[in-house]
Amino acid sequence: MAGSVNKVVLVGNLGKDPDVRTSQSGAKIVSFSLATSDTWNDRASGEKRERTEWHRVVIFNERLADVAERFLRKGRKVYLEGSLQTRKWTDQGGQERYTTEVVIAAYRGELVLLDNKDAGDAPRQQQSRGQNNQQSGGWDSPQGNPDLDDDIPF
Amino acid sequence: MAGSVNKVVLVGNLGKDPDVRTSQSGAKIVSFSLATSDTWNDRASGEKRERTEWHRVVIFNERLADVAERFLRKGRKVYLEGSLQTRKWTDQGGQERYTTEVVIAAYRGELVLLDNKDAGDAPRQQQSRGQNNQQSGGWDSPQGNPDLDDDIPF
Amino acid sequence: MAGSVNKVVLVGNLGKDPDVRTSQSGAKIVSFSLATSDTWNDRASGEKRERTEWHRVVIFNERLADVAERFLRKGRKVYLEGSLQTRKWTDQGGQERYTTEVVIAAYRGELVLLDNKDAGDAPRQQQSRGQNNQQSGGWDSPQGNPDLDDDIPF
Amino acid sequence: MAGSVNKVVLVGNLGKDPDVRTSQSGAKIVSFSLATSDTWNDRASGEKRERTEWHRVVIFNERLADVAERFLRKGRKVYLEGSLQTRKWTDQGGQERYTTEVVIAAYRGELVLLDNKDAGDAPRQQQSRGQNNQQSGGWDSPQGNPDLDDDIPF
DNA sequence: TTTT
DNA sequence: TTTT
């Protein structure tokens, strides 16, 4: 089908440092969880309510994956453009599951660092993956970091 | 957290007529599936590939829910703006599941009909609410609410 | 300054056939005027009012310039993404003027045909460049380039 | 014309403190210049080039005009959504001129502060209009502030 | 389930 | 100049 648009624009904060992996074809893939927060007035109670939304972001765009790996860290604020993609997978019980991700495809999308006062000053220290990577502290994820939990969609 | 943006822009075609239901508070809620299609060149084979993506759209905005009910139908093309929301639910096996939807919240978002040559000519026939609304046949969701089904992402 | 975003999203109709010209470096540049319409309720009178807005669109992206040249015509509806750019020029009286355009730069932006029922059926007849291209008549810009005219914003 | 979209998304920095005025009907109108910066590689020379773009932003949305008046200052970074509007005016020589603005209309648009570490800490001191208002210093406008110049589109 |  |  021609004639369609699938675009997501997010401004939010990373829940933790990005995860970097390499595809079978050797391409770098960077992913992370991004928190946004919606605020609204509850119709019934009239109270101000807030809801944190976690988005799974996956970057295939080579240039932007590089930028993400070098400059994004837990707590950083970022503007990004990607598209929605729902992926099917099978859980440990053999059940089919679906996860919706915001994908920045090759040669597409956008990634803009928004609090880059010291972006160049503190590049990621090389670390062995698998270690906890919490040196950037400082920012508390609104309601725990879903990446560390079980039973979550990503 | 202040300072965030959660925005989705879609242009696509409805997979079937919208589903209209009423919330406990009496508000009309309109939902439908929207297809978009991504086309890209496969890195390996060099071939043109296409992937259809299905989005679950839910409209709480009263004015836009009215427009959707009156003018959207299976196959129609629409531009919309909403935000991403992931909802937790429990399937029939007692398993927790997650569904990501594009939500057009009250007083927010956008909905623009794009092939409205005859939009005013063939409005949906008025029906008593509560009746099943299956005149366009096709895919038969048991309670008229696909969210209750197993084995589908939405 | 890093950390900025300059994005325009338009859905509208072309006022006339696109103008195609070639840059000094040989690149094809396609431009056209696009109409959008805003509707709102006048605060004072309570009446529904409508205002048509004309946007000057200029495409440098090679792939999209090709698509535009081949498929866009007067009256066609299109979705596009570009960025805002204000250009300074000097009118015939020697006065400095400014024109704001929606630019789709090389390797950037988006162009999606929205009423392409017959897009493939009636491609623009190939013409030798340099000839006037006025088969769709209407508004006759002297050099085929409205940017050179007085008394119009673009 | 139904079926159109006219949307601008900007992330940029204010060139100076916003200007606040009151319409004849008593509504508050807030306006300011916002700088964005485009970076690209020059085709010919292969060099990295940068161009600062100044956007004239006008806010009619009451709630967002309040937010802008209270929290926006010279140098602050902001995300906003508005629409393009070209306004005709007559210069001192009696010539017709056109200015394109990014308008946030009543009940529409978006305004999100992006560096609000201390947004609540340093609200604008009430000042007599007409005074220079440069207490927020610190950020140099990329190439001088066009609002202070003659011969510019806004 | 859409559309081209 | 478009479109509804």
* CATH number of the domain within which D97 lies: 2.40.50.140
Least confident range from A104-108, A135-139, C25-29, D92-96: namely A135-139
Please tell me the least confidently modeled range out of B7-16, C106-115, C134-143, D137-146. Answer: C134-143
3-state helix vs strand vs coil in chain A, percent to 5:
10, 45, 45
Summarised one tens digit per residue, pLDDT across range C81-108 is 999 999 999 988 888 999 999 999 999 9
d(CA C73, CA C76): 6
Q: Could you read off the pLDDT of C105-125 as tens digits, one per residue? A: 999 999 999 986 644 434 444
D13 CA from E4 C1′ (Å)? 43
Q: Which residues in chain D have their CB less than 8 angstroms from residue C84's CB?
A: 8, 53, 55, 84, 100, 102
Whether pLDDT at B3 is above 50: yes
- Lowest pLDDT segment from B4-18, B124-138, D8-22, D35-49: B124-138
In a domain, D77, yes or no: yes
- Whether D82 has a pLDDT exceeding 50, the answer reads yes
**Is a pLDDT exceeding 60 seen at residue A128?**
no
* 3-state DSSP assignment of residue D68: helix
Greatest CA separation for chain C? 54
Q: Which two tokens stand for residue D17?
A: 């403190």
**pLDDT exceeding 70 applies to what percent of chain A?**
73
Question: Is residue B109 within a helix (H) or strand (E), and if so which, with residue range?
Answer: none
- Whether A68 contacts A113, CB under 8 Å: no
Q: Is residue C34 part of a domain?
A: yes
Average pLDDT of the residues in A107-135:
62
In Å, how far is D147's CA from the nearest CA of chain A?
A: 25
Residue-wise pLDDT for A24-67, tens only, equals 999 999 999 999 998 877 777 889 899 999 999 999 999 999 99
Q: Residue D127: pLDDT above 50? A: no
Q: Does A116 touch chain C (CB under 8 A)?
A: yes
Condensed to tens digits (0 to 9), the pLDDT of residues B53-80 reads 999 999 999 999 999 999 999 999 999 9
pLDDT at D117: 63
Q: Considering only CA atoms, which residue is closest to the C1' of nucleotide E3?
A: A1
Among B43-52, C78-87, D131-140, name the one with the lowest average pLDDT.
Answer: D131-140
Q: Is the CB of C113 under 7 A from strand E?
A: no
With respect to residue B137, please indicate whether it lies within any of the assigned structural domains: no
**Nearest protein residue to nucleotide F4, judged by CA and C1' positions:** D1
Cβ–Cβ gap C86/D93 under 8 Å: no
Pairing of strands A5-14, B5-14: antiparallel
pLDDT of A147 strictly over 70: no
Q: Please indicate whether residue A42 or residue D143 has the higher confidence score (pLDDT).
A: A42
Query: What pLDDT is recorded for position C1?
Result: 57
Find the range with the poorest average confidence among A130-139, D13-22, D35-44, D76-85.
A130-139
pTM over 0.75: yes
Other CB atoms within a 10 A radius of the CB of residue C118 amount to 7
Give the C-alpha separation, B120 to B117, whole Å.
8
| B136 pLDDT more than 90 | no
Calculate mean pLDDT across residues B124-130: 42
State how many domains chain C has.
1
Residue A98 scores a pLDDT above 80: yes
Q: What pLDDT, on the 0 to 100 scale, is given for residue C134?
A: 38
Q: Is the pLDDT of residue A148 over 80?
A: no
Beta bridge partners, D108, equal none
Contacts of B92 (CB under 8 A, 6+ apart): B150
Chain B contact set for A54 (CB, 8 A)? 86
pLDDT at A120 over 50: no
> Which pLDDT band holds residue B95 (cuts at 50, 70, 90)?
confident
> If you average pLDDT over every residue of chain B, what do you get?
79
Higher pLDDT, B2 or C118: B2
Residues 29-48 of B with CB under 7 A from strand E: 33, 35, 37
pLDDT of residue B117: 60
Among C11, C40, C41, the strongest candidate for a mutation testing the B interface, having the largest count of B CBs within 10 A, is C11
pLDDT of residue D93: 87
Distances from the Cα of C138 to the Cαs of A102, C53, C79, C119, C141, in angstroms? 45, 19, 24, 21, 9
Residue D39, pLDDT score: 83
Please report, in angstroms and rounded to a whole number, the separation of the first and last CA atoms in chain D.
29
Amino acid at the residue A23: S
What pLDDT does residue D105 have?
96
User: B113 CA, E1 C1': separation in Å?
Assistant: 19
Q: Which other chains touch chain D, taking contact as 3+ CB pairs less than 8 Å apart? A: A, B, C
The β-bridge relationship of strands D110-113 and A5-14 is: unpaired
Which of C115-119, D114-118, D142-146 has the least mean pLDDT? D142-146
Please report the DSSP string for C82-107 in residue order. Answer: EEEEEEEEE-TTS-EEEEEEEEE-TT
- Judge whether B152 lies within some domain: no
pLDDT at C104: 97
What domain range is D81 assigned to?
8-38+50-113
The answer to whether position D28 is within a domain reads: yes
B1 domain-assigned: no
